[in-house]
Amino acid sequence: MDLENSYNSPDGRVNIQPDSGILARIMDYQFFGPTQIVFGWGRRTELGRLAAENGERVFLVSGSRTLEQRGVIDDVTRRIEQLGLTLQRFSPASHEPEVADVDSLVTEFLRFQPTTRDVVVAIGGGSTIDLAKAAAALVRNRHGNSVVEFLEGVGTGRQITERPLNLIAVPTTAGTGTEVTKNAVISSYDPAFKKSLRSDWMIPKVVLVDPELTVSLPSETTAFTGMDAITQLIESFISKRAAPIPQALALSGLKLALPALPIAVRDGTSQTSREAMSHAALLSGLALANSGLGLAHGVAAALGVHCRVAHGLACATMLPTALRVNQQVRAKELAQLERLFDHQSHSDADSAAAFVRRIEILCEEIGIPRRLRDIGVTSNQIPALIGSSRGNSMSGNPRDVSDDELLSILQQLW
């Protein structure tokens, strides 16, 4: 069709044809992702080549003590050094990164006078990758004395103005998706906060996902991290900032993750379930990085800093409640998720309710506690959770939730 001749009105303006009602408009959007994703069972053997393509010296940050004990990290080290690269190893404490952890790793990096020819390789769970992402950024941005100055909501407004060191992220869990996001989540317990260091430049240059690295995960960790990925897929799909590409990724990820997670929890050696969960977690990271999250993640951050609840466990415990809170305003979207598994014809309201129940059954099957008291939260801690839940994640929730309503929600869940 000749667009100019068909749509131009006599006065020269474009004459848009009325909507036929068949198609919906596509919203404006942009999409961020890493330069390269390498996915596959056993593909960690390619890490040396990937490092050589992105730097001349490697800062290897490893967080999995199990993989170190099994010789996996030593094998990776040998493969990198065989290609003639100089390598420095760092083994930080294995917990969600705190302000002091980031500042300490930055100091260690600076001892070796890093340059743009260096590449950081992070092998570990989400905490290790977040720590490495933050350090890789801050060694190139020395206009602050601490990472806290750069954190959203609590810092002094300092920004990442120089490109971080190249980063290769190698996740050893299937949950956070931080290997493909542009932020690093940093905690503090005095004062209590959990905030992000964020920049478009912080997306890892290369992501290597080898599902075989997750085989050694205990069943409990598999359950918690897997539910983190599932929560991210669902919340990004129904977020008020949801966009077409992330929604398509979320549909694909959920179709894999919901049947695969119980299998991975029961049998950690199942290659198909480990592959499915690693791929779903990767997709969840791409989705959340571009669409945001919601109530479950907002409260999970508060549960982490005030009650020391593991992030995946906090998300899993909150998810059914978060879905019920948003069920009415996102019935169409939740019904779409249910129809991935049940193709029978039901109303959107009935299908949405069925999906919420499906998630509740999944949580029961893999042993997720149902109430806040069951994960160590005391009733007198609940008021402090309200303010700390008001972060970037909560801002994506499909509907506004007042402080009074949130307090009531958490009290009922306790």
| CATH number of the domain bearing residue 386 | 1.20.1090.10
pLDDT band at 249 (very low <50, low <70, confident <90, very high): very high
| CB neighbours of residue 175 within 10 Å | 31
- pLDDT number for residue 245: 96
- 151: which residues sit within 8 A by CB, 6+ positions away? 186, 193, 195, 196, 197
Q: Structure tokens of 227? A: 């539910």
Helix axes 331-338, 244-266, angle to 10 degrees: 50
- Give yes or no: residues 208 and 225 share one domain: no
In CATH, what number is assigned to the domain containing residue 52?
A: 3.40.50.1970
Q: Is residue 20 part of a domain?
A: no
Cα dihedral 40/89/120/150 (nearest 10): 120
In this prediction, residue 32 has a pLDDT band, given cuts at 50, 70 and 90, of confident
pLDDT tens profile 80-89: 999 999 999 9
Residue 369 pLDDT exceeds 70? yes
Please give the structure tokens belonging to residue 321.
Answer: 């409640």
**Residue 11: its pLDDT value, please?**
57
Structure confidence at residue 396 (pLDDT): 95
Asked if the model's pLDDT at residue 228 lies above 60, the reply is yes
Which of 214, 229, 248 is where one domain is finished?
A: 214
Domain shared by 178 and 230, yes or no: no
Q: 162 vs 23, which has greater pLDDT?
A: 162
Q: Are residues 195 and 51 in the same domain?
A: yes
What's the mean pLDDT in 367-391?
95
Is 277 in the same domain as 187? no
My answer on whether 250 and 268 are in the same domain is yes
Whole domain around residue 226: which residue ranges?
A: 219-413
- Confirm whether 9 is domain-assigned: no
Between the alpha carbon of residue 175 and those of residues 127, 291, 408, the distances in Å are 11, 17, 29
Residue 19 has pLDDT above 60, yes or no: no
Q: Is the dihedral of CA 200, 249, 223, 323 positive or negative?
A: positive
Total count of domains within the chain: 2
Is the domain of 389 the same as that of 407? yes
Give the chain's mean pLDDT.
93
The per-residue pLDDT for 2 is 47
Instruction: Tell me the two tokens of residue 121.
Output: 């390789």
* Predicted pLDDT of residue 7: 44
3-state secondary structure the chain: CCHHHHHECCCCCECCCCCCCCCCCCCCCCCCCCCEEEECCCHHHHHHHHHHHHCCEEEEEECCHHHHHCCHHHHHHHHHHHCCCEEEEECCCCCCCEHHHHHHHHHHHHCCCCCCCEEEEEEECHHHHHHHHHHHHHCCCCCCCCHHHHCCCCCCCCCCCCCCCEEEEEECCCCCCHHHCCEEEEEEECCEEEEEEECHHHCCCEEEECHHHHCCCCHHHHHHHHHHHHHHHHHHHHCCCCCHHHHHHHHHHHHHHHHHHHHHHHCCCCHHHHHHHHHHHHHHHHHHHHHCCCHHHHHHHHHHHHHCCCHHHHHHHHHHHHHHHHCCCCHHHHHHHHCCCCCCCCCHHHHHHHHHHHHHHHHHHCCCCCCHHHHCCCHHHHHHHHHHCCCCCHHHCCCCCCHHHHHHHHHHHC
pLDDT digits (tens, 9 = 90+) for 299-313: 999 999 999 999 999
Query: Distance (Å, rounded) from C-alpha 99 to C-alpha 107?
Result: 13
Report the pLDDT averaged over residues 8-33. Answer: 67
User: pTM value?
Assistant: 0.92
**Is 70 exceeded by the pLDDT of residue 331?**
yes
Which range has the worst mean pLDDT, 65-79, 193-207, 272-286? 65-79
Q: Is the pLDDT of residue 155 over 70?
A: yes
200 and 274 both lie in a single domain: no
User: Are 78 and 170 in the same domain?
Assistant: yes
pLDDT of residue 15: 56
- CA distance linking residue 230 with residue 232, whole number of Å: 5
Residue 89, beta-bridge partner list = 60
Q: Is the peptide bond before 191 cis (omega within 30 degrees of 0)?
A: yes
What percentage of the chain reaches a pLDDT higher than 70? 95
Say yes or no: 187 and 236 in one domain.
no
What six digits make up the tokens of 114?
Answer: 């890093």
Predicted local confidence at residue 20, as pLDDT = 54
User: Residue 28: its pLDDT value, please?
Assistant: 85
Same-domain status, 194 and 223:
no
Last residue of a domain, one of 214, 235, 257: 214
In a domain, residue 333? The reply is: yes
Dump pLDDT digits (tens) for 194-224. 999 999 999 999 999 999 999 999 999 999 9
Q: Do 147 and 256 touch, CB atoms closer than 8 A?
A: no
Q: Would residue 7 count as lying in a domain?
A: no
pLDDT at 14: 55
Picking from 214, 243, 260, the residue at the C-terminal end of a domain is 214
Could you tell me if 127 and 226 lie in one domain?
A: no
pLDDT of residue 6: 44
Q: What is the pLDDT of residue 65?
A: 85
pLDDT category at 270 given cuts 50, 70, 90 is: very high
Q: Are residues 256 and 142 in the same domain?
A: no
Q: Tens of pLDDT along 53-67?
A: 999 999 999 988 888
Q: What is the mean pLDDT of residues 135-161?
A: 94
